Structure 1
Amino acid sequence: MDLFNAIVLAIIEGLTEFLPVSSTGHMIIVSSLFGIAGDDFTKLFTIVIQFGTILSVLVLYWKRFLQSVDFYKKLFVAFLPAVFLGLLLNDFIDELLESPLIVAISLIIGGFILLKVDDWFNGSEDEEISYLTALKIGFFQCIAMIPGVSRSGASIVGGMSQKLSRTTAAEFSFFLAVPTMFGATVKKTWDYYQEGFVLSDNQINLLILGNVIGFIVAIFAIKSFIGYLTKHGFKVFGYYRIAIGIAIFVIHYFVMPLSV
């Protein structure tokens, strides 16, 4: 991975991590086109730079993270399903990540769901999240263990299915990303460490740069997404997901095999 690759991937991570479009699908296409998808450092890079995007949520919503102990209890409840199912299905998830076909299908199916979600849950305006609602959103988030589903997309749809407004569901999805992504980042980084993966000075610099870029881009992405979502809903993201899913099919089967 060179400097240009790192910058582009970090921008993509910042733009897509909190949008319901699947950062995984975008990383597959771009890293494969760069010819670095199978590289161990690329896989580590795409995981570690999530830390920068996590920080963007903490910076934008710092007041919410200081509001009450009850806030953290609900986040913990929503986080629990990902902990148990993630540990239980870790090997199976890694196998799914080897299939561009799974990613493409997930993107397309999720796209059609986003085209209809505003109609299904139109009029949902509840701003209060109960413990049961938090737990249900946590289980919805686990659907995103299937590559291409989108963690934010699954948790937002889960929130709206529980009669939360678009904005409340989206913001809770951002908050839930903090423990979920932090836990995944720590686990995967530890796995690489256990395997004896040693970073060079240049690779460490690329990781630092990737986190900084991801942090800055994610701040703009989150603010823009909330504003757009409130006014226009999910349809544009549905069409976009379908287009990306078709692009993966075309590139993988007619241009070049994609590595995940």
Structure 2
Amino acid sequence: MKILIAEDEPALRRAYQVALERQGYEVTAAANGQEAVDQASAHAFDLLILDIMMPVKTGLEALREIRESGNKTYAIMLTAMAEVDDRVTGLDAGADDYLTKPISLKELMARLRSIERRFETNFTQKELSFANITLNVREQEIIAHSSMRLNANESKLLEYLILNAQDKTVTQEDVYAHTFERNEEKDAGYVWIYISYLKHKLRAIGAQVRITGQEGGPYGLEVAAADASAVTQGAASAEGAASEEGAAA
């Protein structure tokens, strides 16, 4: 899991980072709220941990800006303020959870394990949208001018790209880690195969969305004009994509 932690006190920031890295998490540290906004804008994270009282921008200001960009990454606020009103303010700003400082590292690790279980059991939004496409996550269906079913890996891949679509790219390794089950006999090289399938299906349904990036990544989503000829050939394209997938499976 990739974590962004923003804490202005150097000793605390280093302590959090070392403790998390020892548990196998990939950690990026920020010293103030503006650094947190910049990092969240440039990179894909699975979790944001933001101290409320920081210079340049407070954690609340940073989180509001991050949420306004469309970033829905799970966020935990660290606060020395125990009043109910302060907690409410944090939740209203877009926080998902909070911990009162001084925090217990044991409790923080327990929260992280709980979040990981959510990821593993696929607690996610039912629908995600970008430009003119809607992904029904549970039904694994993509809808634009027409609709098409996706296989499980394609659906997870598109979900991850949509969640990180705000002027951001993701590495091939990130895509692989979030798309494929560890027990599948596939390596990171399969990412490009599924990117290609998904590009084909997006064209087939007239999506005003394009997947950027070449083989090996990084990849991203951008708004693009719909291909009218692809829309009229959607059924044939779908059959072609399905037969290609069957051959590769």
Larger relative helix fraction? 1
Q: TM-score range with shorter-chain normalisation?
A: under 0.3
TM-score (norm 1): 0.24
Structure of higher RCO (CA pairs closer than 8 Å, 6+ residues apart): 1
More strand per residue: 2
CA radius of gyration, larger in: 2
**TM-score normalised by structure 2 residue count:** 0.25
